[in-house]
Structure 1
């Protein structure tokens, strides 16, 4: 699974919120019925939205917030340990957060996750 949210100042890949998000959703949806329930994934998305909102209100505090944003990786690992999410979802979170280096990249990752969640719901409606 490959996602590239881009670097600050770069144009966003026109396929990021469509084809790429759809393909990633298909991979994560293939995990089986017992893992990756939409409500569980929504918790991670909601936290990313929360941090994006905080950063957009106070962009100068991004560096202070970054350790807590990256801590979402630990939360995903914990959820994996409890068999609530699978390795594909943990990998998605890790690869996305690894590319978050400023307010702009966080916002792009948030938008990607929004698109991913929409396609995921299409792949696994219940």
Structure 2
């Protein structure tokens, strides 16, 4: 739990750093991939697909005013992902670290730009997660 909290403190979606989509995303993926038995790839992909859907709905609007309007209308439904990830955790489809990651990121989403950064961070996370998951499995099999 302490490891994930340390990396979560580095995730700021309103004021991004140069390493958010690289080192921070990879470190996050490495921590979450350690417990691969409780993270079902279908669930992770389902949440990522929903993030993409919301970002597309908001950030493809033709003007800043329209993006802000659609964002404000969508925010309650975006934040409802907290309940969805809690449900997935309750069914052992995702682990505590993934639950904490999404909860943290959803709190950080406050405008169309931070929504875009959330989508980009999760895109980087998903790429690194696939690598870290296979590496974690390889190391576990090596020990057996």
TM-score for the superposition, normalised by structure 2? 0.80
What does residue 5 of structure 1 align with? 12
Choose which of 96, 102, 107 in structure 2 pairs with 1:87.
Answer: 96
Q: CA deviation at 1:81?
A: 0.4
Cross-structure match for 1:78: 87
Residue 47 of structure 2: aligned partner: 44
Q: Gapped runs of 5+ residues in structure 2?
A: 62-66, 138-144
Q: Which residue of 2 aligns with 1:109?
A: 118
The Cα RMSD (Å) is 1.4
2:22 is matched with 18
Match of 1:124 among 114, 119, 133: 133
Partner SS, residue 110 of structure 2: coil
For 1:12-46, what per-residue CA distance to the aligned partner results, in whole angstroms no more than 9, with x for missing partners? Answer: 3111001100010011101142x112221011000
The runs of 4+ residues in structure 1 deviating greater than 4 Å are none
| Contact kept? 2:11, 2:24, Cα under 8 Å | no
| Greater helix content | 2
Unaligned runs of 5+ in 1: none
TM-score with structure 1 setting the length:
0.91
Which structure has the larger Rg over C-alpha atoms? 2
* CA positional deviation for 1:53: 0.4
